Structure 1
Amino acid sequence: MSSTTNSPQLSDTDRTTPDKDETPEVPPSAETPDDVVAEASGEDSAADESPAASKITAEVAAEPAEPIEADTEEKAPAECAEPAEAATDEKAPASDAEAPEEAPADATPDAPSDAPEEPATPRRWRDRNPIAARYVGWTITALSLGLVCFALLMPTSMEAFRPGIFVRIPVEAILGAGVLIFLPRKPRMVAATLAGLGLGVLTVLNLLDIGFNMFLGRGFNVVLDWVLFDDTKAYLEDSMGSAGTIAAVIGVVVLIIVLLAVMTLAVLRVSNVLARDRDKATRTTVLIGTAWVTCAALGLQLAGTPLAARSTFALVEDRAKRVRATIKDEAAFAKEAKKDKFGNTPGDQLLTDLRGKDVIFTFIESYGRSAIEDDDIAPGVNATLTAKNEELTKAGFAAKSGWLKSSTYGGNSWLGHSTFLSGLWINNQNRYRVVTAGEHLTLTGAFQRTGDWRTVGVMPGVQKNWPEGKFYGLDQVYDSRELGYKGPKFSWSTMPDQYALKAFEQLEHGKKQDKPLMSQIILTSSHQPWAPLPETVPWDQVGDGSVYKDIQKAGKKPGDVFYDSEKAKEEYGKSIQYSVTSLIDYVTKYGSKDTVLVFLGDHQPMAKVSGSKASRDVPISIVAQDKSVLSKIDDWNWTDGLKPDTDAPVWRMDSFRDRFLTAYGSQPNPSK
């Protein structure tokens, strides 16, 4: 209850209002507790009509003012308020005319209180829990420092991730600490923010390097490789569907934003800790710097890894060199592409020893040396090659095989195709654009130039317009939309290889032609993720592809295979067996004495299957019934049959065009 209701009130007629300096002071008395409480509280008494109350008021007014001792409130018993409260409750309230206005509660002057004053409640968690806050702060600082060191020491390939790689001393951290310690606050915050963003970008590029090394056997090219993300998105849509692709893209974007933000906050945290005690930070930095210099001078190592690290500087230098080399290579390659050993050779002087033959150039996706020599994959593939070679022999065919070194690895198949057909080393997207925009003679274009062959392309992996068909010298291109397929997709592959070959037979090869046929066929069933896989069916049951619906439903899911190295190897081997089986079965069923088949792999499968140290070699075979066709390449020293020996010759893929043209009667006439 408030002090206003505890105090007796005086009537208007009895109220005495002394001046401020003349306020009567009543010494404390046990006989007048109500008066003491009322006077100490600084409030007017309520109106009271009793004679006793009037008498007390008059006596108080008549007494001279005396100073109140400092311990007045201390000596007043706390129980004094209780009788006043009871008396007030028993009195009838004064009439409206007689009752004075009560002062508002907030206008009451401060009065000493008997209750002890409570301390203010801490508003922040760290104020309420200082010990826990201290440990949390240490933990955040340690994590921030660890994150910064991780970014500075992070390798660019999965094979390089070893425990010892992160116990080194990064010189970049020492130099960065030295700068941040002595900068004023605002420049320090700016420098720390820029350094954090830089480390975030560096981490993203390192992650890209890891992915490119895993799939393509090389690092990320900051100049050329951005265009490949569109192909990656298309691959994800074919393999995972639209919903999965959208989720993956969102996840990547969120990851990049989080990396940039967290790395920036980490550097800011470390910089604040350094600035908090500059003397101690300086001594520590000098000590660690001395340790780095000592390790570098003595060449100290841990598990074969130098303790004194400068990996970030090395990575930046390497990327800068690659950028300069890429820019320089563009101009050099443009000049190289204009030179052509057979550029001005007339059509009647090209391929004279193959006239009248139906020539088929076939690329088998990801058919690499690992399929024949890897211990986990080779048994099934080699058994298939042996069996199919016997079938070819029974059908009157013979084969010779060798090795080519592909210009690409793990993907980017079109780079391998263009290298093989153009005779130029095309190992990046910029070179591909340059050569396909020009008029360099391709192997398939040489057949077109003669005027003696009809040239067609069967491209089941192409799902949109393909202007490169003109560069390759193809009279007709059949992409996935023009092959009449009504069956299901098999992950990325739009249709089984057997169907693509059957469609080729119906659309071109099986028809009566005025000219022999030269065809370029891309088989895609062995494309990653190797699940689900098609199966061979009787040729007369292929139809429009509807027969594959049940096979596709019964197949394995991509996610169950692609992320498991052992399963990926197993299914990859099966896919190569299927593609080789489909192709050789087609030749033995629909081929003739005029058929010449050249088939090869475009590149090795990704590192998860072929291994991190795999070569770029791919097998190549030439199959024909006419013995004179194979006798033309006797000096190549290739292996008889479909399986090349381990020690068979290995040529760069770009050398094959000129060797083939020369072997079959073409006369060089270089372009100027």
Structure 2
Amino acid sequence: MTDVHRWGPANAVTAVRALLTVVLAVLVVRSASPTLVTALAAVALATDAVDGRVARRTGTVSGFGARFDMETDAALLLVLSGYVARDLGLWVLAIGLARYVFVAAKLPLPWLRGQAPYRAWCKWVAAIQGIALLVAASGLLPDRVATAALLGALALLTESFAHEAWDLWRTRQPHRSVPRVAALTGLLSVLVVWAVLVAPTSIGTLSPAAFLRIPLEGLVLIGLVLVLPPRLATWVVGAAGVVLGVLTLLKVLDIGISVAFARPFDLIGDPVYAGAGISFLRDALGTPNAYTVSALAILLMAGVLVLVPYAVDRAARFTRRHRPVAGRVVLVLALVWAVGAVAGVRVGAGERLAAATDVHLAAHHVELVRANLRERAELSRAIAVDRYADVPGSRLLRALRGKDVLLVFVESYGKVALDGLPTSPQLRDSVDGYSRRLDRAGFGSRSGWLTSPTFGAMSWFAHSTLQSGLWIDNQSTYDLLIQRDRLTLSSAFLKAGWRSVGVIPADTEPWPEGVDFYRWQHLWDSTNMSYEGPRFGYGRMPDQFALHAFDDLELDRPGRGPLMAEIDLESSHNPWVPLPRMIDPADLGDGSAFDGMQDEGPQREETWRSADLVKAAYVRSLQYSLDALTSFVEQNQDDDLVVITLGDHWPVTTVSGTTGGHAVPISVIARDPKVLRAIDGWHWDHGLRPTDAAPEWRMDSFRDRFLGAFSG
């Protein structure tokens, strides 16, 4: 290889491929047709077979040309893998990201920076990646065949990089830092450590100004490095790196949880959601994407635990090498920190200049763990003190004797839907229309507000809180509750002589807690409701079908007695698209009438590109769920039907914002005026839409108020 500095025809060919790669990237972002993408990608890949030959024929082979060719190829593979990943799963991105991961690994692993022996096979492997991605992008092969081809290509690519890494390890030389490189990496390490120390713990406080603060922990660490003996300083730096890595990971988890649920990470409760989280991702993204996202999350966490201690070590070495300057800088920053702390100086949008973020983070999470343990102890005492536990069944719920009572949860139905979104006026009009329809059918309704114990997800906290009359806002207290014997609304009805059932269409596996804790005599779910239609987003079946099936399976059962059921409506569950349409009840059958609807209207990929589109889709899903419930009540012209319907929590922060609330609407619907007169003392509003003046109670207070109103 010669060192040729002029541009040359080979580099011009590579430049054409680079330009085509940029054009392809734009087309991928704009979701261009597969035909256009495939045609341009084929031309770009063809130029890769030309530039090398041109360079050799014209004698213009150079180190720059080889590097230009390599980086252009890598960029092209990344763009193509991003295009194919939309259809076959995010795992395809591993092909496009492989080189960049390998390059990033050179930073902490100096032995990877050497020159591996030349292997012609590497060039063939790179060509195979491009061909496999091109064929997959064309759509000419069935998805399964294309997936198998890409998996084979990825296996070859993995072997190629592993072989290169092994060659570099075998031929490694003792690493000697180049002074300029060492100084640059040391300075970068200082900046990285500074950034992770002052990084906020919630998405709402994440801003450039937050990184202009002075971290107390960093000043203390550098001060110790400068004054302690070298050996002791090494141990301190190692321990500090591990601690800072763990705290940084905790920050990442805090930010991630705050984005979805507007709260910090729960060290005790949240880890148990891993399985449920993967299950949710499978439902929302598909199995390949779910496992890809999970793998990337694990890699991110592992990367934090490795790279942060590495950065701390490099930063410490850098400050020791520049001890005089570092000492003066630390002294000045310490004085500025002290003045800022005393004077309360703030930067940006109210962040304190004198920061101690990681100290506060550790203290906050220690207090959260202590509070969690206190809550468990208090819950144990509260479970044992239940004013209704020993009331005979003959005295319970006497005002509802002979009536069918349905407790209907509408997923993610929060106050924000009625008051806080651009499309809230449409939902308010719809809810008022549903109220008028019920009035015409002879049903009255009263509505108020409840404060949910959860936000964004974890519906089971709200369900158990309402049913048990105890405040359940974390997994630890939930796990404790369901292991105990507590009178729930369902078991109170069972005790008083009602048949008690649960209807949870989203469940796909046995759920023993339904029998053991809620005391349901039967659980209806996706395995036994005979639905044969398509899925819509998260929901296993449309709400209209779930209510219709419940009508057939329970309400129309000959010779039955009074019934109490909890019914969970899922069509308003994230991601809110695609959405079914209401159809004639006579056409519902086994649900096949919904075939094709899942491809109509906005889809998840399109909708979730815009927060405004997501908010609009969320409101439309609530309109559908409430319409299905209203139609169900209209069709059951039954004087003995009582429906309690409520939301379980607000939707995720994409819709609600990071300062979302917890108020959810609740309504009691009945045709018998005596039922509504029994709750006159609650001072709820008429209709299905509570006003701001309507009372708001904590959700755990509802059980006792309800039992008190109807038990006499």
> TM-score per shorter chain, which class?
0.7 to 0.9
Matched, 1:430 2:430: no
Runs of 4+ aligned structure 1 residues displaced above 6 Å come to 123-127
Residue in structure 2 matching 1:621, options 667, 671, 677:
667
Aligned in 2, Cα 1:591/1:362: closer, same or farther, shift over 3 Å? farther
- The residue aligned with 1:357 is 403
State the alpha-carbon separation in 2 of the partners of residues 277 and 183 from structure 1.
15
Range 228-237 or range 606-615, more displaced: 606-615
Residue in structure 2 matching 1:259, options 304, 307, 311:
304
Residue in structure 2 matching 1:392, options 435, 438, 456:
438
State the alpha-carbon separation in 1 of the partners of residues 387 and 240 from structure 2.
52
Give the number of the structure whose residues are more often helix, by fraction.
Answer: 2
- The residue aligned with 1:544 is 590
- The residue aligned with 1:212 is 257
- The residue aligned with 1:605 is 651
Amino acid at match of 1:394: R
Aligned in 2, Cα 1:534/1:186: closer, same or farther, shift over 3 Å? farther
CA apart distance, 1:245: 1.1
Q: State the secondary structure of the residue aligned to 1:404.
A: strand
State the Cα deviation string for residues 153-181 of structure 1 (Å, max 9, x = none).
11111110122211111110000001112
CA apart distance, 1:514: 3.0
Residue in structure 2 matching 1:282, options 327, 334, 339:
327
State the alpha-carbon separation in 1 of the partners of residues 537 and 646 from structure 2.
22
Whether contact under 8 Å (2:190, 2:315) holds in the other structure is yes
State the alpha-carbon separation in 1 of the partners of residues 438 and 561 from structure 2.
25
Whether contact under 8 Å (2:186, 2:317) holds in the other structure is no
CA apart distance, 1:376: 1.1
- The residue aligned with 1:168 is 213
Amino acid at match of 1:573: V
Whether contact under 8 Å (2:194, 2:215) holds in the other structure is yes
- The residue aligned with 2:459 is 413
CA apart distance, 1:350: 0.3
- The residue aligned with 2:242 is 197
CA apart distance, 1:564: 2.7
Residue in structure 2 matching 1:383, options 429, 435, 452:
429
State the alpha-carbon separation in 2 of the partners of residues 197 and 564 from structure 1.
39
RMSD: 1.8
Which runs of 5 or more residues in structure 2 are unaligned? 1-172
CA apart distance, 1:235: 0.2
State the alpha-carbon separation in 2 of the partners of residues 215 and 421 from structure 1.
25
Range 512-521 or range 635-644, more displaced: 512-521
State the Cα deviation string for residues 497-555 of structure 1 (Å, max 9, x = none).
01101110111112223311111100001110111112111111111112222001224
State the Cα deviation string for residues 26-48 of structure 1 (Å, max 9, x = none).
xxxxxxxxxxxxxxxxxxxxxxx
- The residue aligned with 1:86 is none
- The residue aligned with 1:499 is 545
Matched, 1:644 2:680: no
**How does 1:63-462 map onto structure 2 within 5 Å?**
134-303=179-348, 304-451=350-497, 453-462=498-507
CA apart distance, 1:607: 1.7
Q: State the secondary structure of the residue aligned to 2:573.
A: coil
Whether contact under 8 Å (1:380, 1:574) holds in the other structure is no
Q: State the secondary structure of the residue aligned to 1:159.
A: helix
Amino acid at match of 2:189: S
CA apart distance, 1:209: 1.1
Whether contact under 8 Å (1:529, 1:561) holds in the other structure is no
Amino acid at match of 2:662: R
Matched, 1:510 2:549: no
State the Cα deviation string for residues 270-289 of structure 1 (Å, max 9, x = none).
11112213333223222221
Q: State the secondary structure of the residue aligned to 1:664.
A: helix
Amino acid at match of 2:592: S
Q: State the secondary structure of the residue aligned to 1:370.
A: helix
Q: Which has the larger radius of gyration?
A: 1
- The residue aligned with 2:150 is none
State the alpha-carbon separation in 1 of the partners of residues 609 and 203 from structure 2.
14
Amino acid at match of 1:347: G
State the alpha-carbon separation in 2 of the partners of residues 135 and 555 from structure 1.
57
CA apart distance, 1:201: 1.8
Amino acid at match of 2:340: C
Whether contact under 8 Å (2:441, 2:637) holds in the other structure is no
State the alpha-carbon separation in 1 of the partners of residues 589 and 678 from structure 2.
39
Q: State the secondary structure of the residue aligned to 1:527.
A: coil
Q: State the secondary structure of the residue aligned to 1:456.
A: strand
- The residue aligned with 1:48 is none
Whether contact under 8 Å (1:530, 1:562) holds in the other structure is no
Q: State the secondary structure of the residue aligned to 2:661.
A: coil
State the alpha-carbon separation in 1 of the partners of residues 184 and 612 from structure 2.
40
Q: State the secondary structure of the residue aligned to 1:283.
A: helix
Whether contact under 8 Å (2:187, 2:318) holds in the other structure is no
- The residue aligned with 1:565 is 611
Aligned in 2, Cα 1:476/1:152: closer, same or farther, shift over 3 Å? same
State the alpha-carbon separation in 1 of the partners of residues 559 and 449 from structure 2.
34
CA apart distance, 1:581: 0.3
CA apart distance, 1:124: 10
CA apart distance, 1:606: 1.2
Matched, 1:635 2:681: yes
Q: State the secondary structure of the residue aligned to 2:431.
A: helix
State the alpha-carbon separation in 1 of the partners of residues 262 and 197 from structure 2.
23
State the alpha-carbon separation in 1 of the partners of residues 423 and 253 from structure 2.
28
Aligned in 2, Cα 1:148/1:443: closer, same or farther, shift over 3 Å? same
Amino acid at match of 2:651: P
TM-score normalised to structure 1 length: 0.78
CA apart distance, 1:140: 2.0
CA apart distance, 1:560: 2.9
Amino acid at match of 1:617: A
Amino acid at match of 1:481: T
State the alpha-carbon separation in 1 of the partners of residues 249 and 457 from structure 2.
21
Aligned in 2, Cα 1:197/1:555: closer, same or farther, shift over 3 Å? farther
State the alpha-carbon separation in 2 of the partners of residues 475 and 339 from structure 1.
26
Whether contact under 8 Å (2:383, 2:486) holds in the other structure is yes
CA apart distance, 1:591: 3.8
State the alpha-carbon separation in 2 of the partners of residues 555 and 143 from structure 1.
49
- The residue aligned with 1:661 is 707
Whether contact under 8 Å (1:178, 1:282) holds in the other structure is yes
- The residue aligned with 1:579 is 625
Aligned in 2, Cα 1:375/1:279: closer, same or farther, shift over 3 Å? closer
Whether contact under 8 Å (1:530, 1:561) holds in the other structure is no
Amino acid at match of 2:410: I
State the alpha-carbon separation in 2 of the partners of residues 136 and 532 from structure 1.
53
Whether contact under 8 Å (2:183, 2:318) holds in the other structure is no
Whether contact under 8 Å (1:180, 1:271) holds in the other structure is yes
CA apart distance, 1:435: 1.5
State the alpha-carbon separation in 1 of the partners of residues 229 and 175 from structure 2.
30
State the alpha-carbon separation in 2 of the partners of residues 189 and 332 from structure 1.
45
Whether contact under 8 Å (2:268, 2:476) holds in the other structure is no
Whether contact under 8 Å (2:278, 2:291) holds in the other structure is no
Whether contact under 8 Å (1:370, 1:377) holds in the other structure is no
CA apart distance, 1:134: 5.0
**How does 1:17-56 map onto structure 2 within 5 Å?**
none
State the alpha-carbon separation in 2 of the partners of residues 591 and 218 from structure 1.
44
CA apart distance, 1:324: 1.6
